Structure 1
């Protein structure tokens, strides 16, 4: 005689077979709604039964030499190993959590909710007593009637505030201290050039540093959600003592002009990447650590002919041993030369250094403020990006042709139009109002 669990599985299979050819299209809407809820409950109950068997299936793995019941199940049922390993962990957790197991068995908790609850309970600090853990289990199972897995996970992280507020703060402080210490130990950052003009950045950094970076990036992305959205009136932007900081507070006392919808909005990920590049370009090199006996500086090397040519290249940076030199266009090098922290090294025909740029070549803070007062916003025709988010550009006589770094030759351009100013495929035209107009060369 078959085991009762196998009999139940056979009966379930038979019941499903009896409706295999039934078309749900002919069900009424109320019947469909009820069926979806009922089948979800049945699915949860079947999953609990499967996990209950999995928890006691170590002997099955031993008979076949499998690593564990999860690995055996993955091979026998052709499922992903990661999913089966997660099932085995949940099955073990349910064996120690009778309230959660009963709720799953009765269909009051679905499989996703059960995983979240089990994970939340496992993450409670070791010093929390078993009675408090039991209370947390009961509370989270009760919340499952109203909250989805995402909301349950959020509640699980703060469950001690609900059931044991007298110890929650102290426990959380110790837990956060452990997390912060672990984060500083595990943090990593890597850069890998892909050979297609881009470099992949991958890493793991502490939450506090990530939050700070996100705030800085928001300072760049928020005022220019797309190229057609004008930000707040530049005259209403307040500059504090740290006016050149990446964090600028904009207080609009009146609404900005309505923007026309754009048909091709810039993806948020690309905007964030642009903001990150902009952030690097606005770092003050005089506040960076001493590197190689001098303030941290990036050197762009090119020949004099390349400097003056529209289509030419330059070498960027002093690579570490084993790294290759990064190549950029001469146009990009000329644009970078307008910003602080970039020293252009111009070579003659025999590679002798004709000119090595000095920090005085760049617009200083006082000049930037003067340009902000004079220009107020990006001087490109039709652009209204405010001064705090603009870059100083040598607009009169180009730097490559000996232009001076003074207010007469200076002009504010947003990052987008500063790139255009150094793009050889675009021509610039000064307009009567003092700004510039761009058009693609034919």
Structure 2
């Protein structure tokens, strides 16, 4: 059954069919081949999406939509410009720092790419070439799935069951996310200097920096309230997402005063569409996961890998190498749903820290969002900036290299990932 499922899925996916439908057809084919009642599929679908933690995804998406429409981007840009705008590649640094802060609002790389691309690229084009500008913004947007709150980590935790907590995964992404931010800024400075771009932004002034910090405080406080509450056990990730929505509404109407009632309908619609896509993938993939379980694929894979190697590090390297390839060809949510139920139990049998394995799994597939041919963030940026995929790929590879360097660092030194969550009791 598993072989039929995989063949049907990849055939329809390569033909351009939406991944949710390809997963659904693959599930039906597998159930039919195994002589199992087809009524099992809707039952498994309903069971998969009937989840309280899963509600956090549409709520975080809605919070991100509302914060963008509430005018937070300009405040983030002004704050970032006051801090790092005068460095080599000043506007690039502004984009990276704004992306880091927006990551703590949106929780998704695609949402960050849309907000940053439409806001910052027009200004960056006045000082930099199109390829450089688009690559910087794409890289900054990719922080959205690493820094908390991350929708990708919520999906991973849901598929991994009770072996790992959402809050723990959130905290696992903090130090690597900060390292990525610094790495992106170093690369942006070097490339700006090498290309001979002129300095942008005003000279650094403490008074100006303090003033912009005060203006940005309502925005900067949101991740502290939401993520801090989740980590502190005050509320669950889903409740935290609901609080984020309420916070965004209050900031938009009472602080920035740029959010209007007419913005609510498009914000709700965009969040609903994004959440529906994720929900459909999870629902249809439930059938695939059921077939994998019936065929005892996780147990067989664990036995095979344990016969192949008894070294946890070798196993980890093998899985990371496979995920690099998977990330190039399969959309990340589909990969989480299909592969996490397979590899998470095997990693546990090797004695690998569930937080470490979960973060590395997510991080690897997040990098895949910037690698062709199925680099979702690249497609979003190309659509917004009208920069060709070829030019974008030529300019983005140094930032992809930084992400892989941090991934290798996390594999070699697991404490980079696990120290903070363990210090906080996860």
TM-score range normalised by the length of the shorter chain: under 0.3
Higher relative contact order, structure no. (Cα contacts within 8 Å, ≥ 6 residues apart): 2
Indicate the structure with greater helix content: 2
Q: TM (normalized to structure 1)?
A: 0.23
Q: TM (normalized to structure 2)?
A: 0.24
Mark the structure with the bigger radius of gyration: 1
